[in-house]
Amino acid sequence: MKHKNSKRRLPIFTYLVLGFWTFISLFPLYFMLTFSLKSNKEIFGENIIGLPREWLWSNYEAALTTGNMLKYFFNSFIVTGCTIALTLMASLMASYALTRLIWKGRKTLNQIFMLGLTVPIHAAILPVFIMLRNLRMTNSYQALIIPYTAFALAMAIMICESFIENIPVELEEAACMDGCGVYRIFFQIILPLMKPAFSTIAIFTFLQAWNELMFAVIFISDSNYRTLSVGIQTLSGSYTTEWGPIGAALVIATFPTLLIYIFMSKKIQDSLIAGAVKG
């Protein structure tokens, strides 16, 4: 009897804890979503945490137009998109050479790449800044795309290698007997089979590039090239008294991430687990 009782009480306790943490996790987001639709009057006293009484979509309009969020969003999109494409291309090619081609020093090179997993961006920020300045490349999309790609490579190569190892060598051998050269083997056999790796790498790279702040703050000062993270900082500086448009800007910046997460939550979780456990 006693045993049964404790078994029944247990889930209640469990759900209390989990429910509490759900609240803690989601409350700031709920707060963001609601105040993005409110007027100052509601936020500052009348209706602090309730649902908006009057849905002020004009906050979004203000953020997108006068707040320049449309431009920042576009910039983030370009930078992130190019970073993902470049990372995919470079890492797929490199990991093929590192796992399947035979040459001296490939183990050493692989280890050097893996060191990149632990090097923080602090190591590079000043020299890369000086390099960009000398090349007159600060305030451009490349100023972010190139460093982001370089720092995403180590993880991407590691993920690619673990996928390539699962592709049977016999496939390549068969193609080779049919007279395929190394490039055709790579493009027609390896690439199509590596598709599952694409999304894992894209997820990692997306999160890294979309949310990055330190490089973006330092390499970009021209508002034409500001990404969302820097743009929001500027926006909050100019809208100190009006909270609504800032809330709208925060929602706009978060929206793509949440949208992707809703459709691919399992895949995203698995990617991050794989990345952490191997690294």
Which residues, numbered 67-96, are part of the site for other proteins (CB under 8 A)?
86, 89-91, 93-94, 96
Q: How far is the CB of 107 from other proteins (least distance, A)?
A: 14
Q: Which of residues 173-202 bind other proteins (CB under 8 A)?
A: 173, 176-177, 180-183, 185-186
Q: Residue holding tokens 């600060």?
A: 138
Q: What is the sign, positive or negative, of the torsion defined by CA atoms of 68, 71, 74, 78? A: negative
Site for other proteins in 13-32 (CB under 8 A): 14-15, 17-18, 21-22, 24-26, 28-29, 31-32
Whose Cβ is closer to other proteins: residue 81's or residue 116's? 116
Chain CA centroid to CA 151, Å? 12
CA distance 189 to 36: 49
Least distance in angstroms from the C-beta of 85 to other proteins: 12
Distance CA 236, CA 225 (A): 18
Q: Please give the residues from 94 up to 113 whose contact with other proteins meets the rule CB under 8 A.
A: 94, 96-98, 100-103, 109, 112-113
Residue 225 touches other proteins, criterion: CB under 8 A: no
How big is the site for other proteins, counted in residues (CB under 8 A)?
Answer: 96
- 91 or 205, CB closer to other proteins? 91
Is the Cβ of residue 128 or residue 202 nearer to other proteins in the bound state? 128
Per CB under 8 A, contacts with other proteins among 120-159 are 120, 122-128, 130-131, 146-147, 149-151, 153, 157
All residues at 6 or more sequence positions from 254 whose CB lies less than 8 Å from its CB, including other chains: 29, 32
**What are the distances in angstroms from CA 92 to CA 117, 120, 149, 157?**
17, 23, 13, 7
Which of 66, 166, 224, 233 is the binder for other proteins (CB under 8 A)? Answer: 233
**Residue 118 interacting with other proteins (CB under 8 A):** yes
Told to check if 116 binds other proteins by CB under 8 A, we report yes
Q: Does the footprint of other proteins cover residue 242 (CB under 8 A)?
A: no
Rounded CA-CA distance 279/273 in Å is 10
How is 101-162 classified by DSSP, letter by letter? S--TTHHHHHHHHHHTTT--THHHHHHHHHHHHHTT-SSSSHHHHHHHHHHHHHHHHHHHHH
Given 60, 204, 210, 225, the residue binding other proteins (CB under 8 A): 210
Instruction: Report which DSSP code applies to 68.
Output: -
Q: Does 50 bind other proteins (CB under 8 A)?
A: no
Instruction: For residue 257, state whether it binds other proteins (rule: CB under 8 A).
Output: yes
Of 250, 154, 249, nearest in space to 208 by CA: 154
Tell the smallest beta-carbon distance from residue 133 to other proteins (Å).
Answer: 9
User: Cβ neighbours of residue 269 under 8 Å, at least 6 residues apart?
Assistant: none
Write down the least CB distance from residue 55 to other proteins, Å.
19
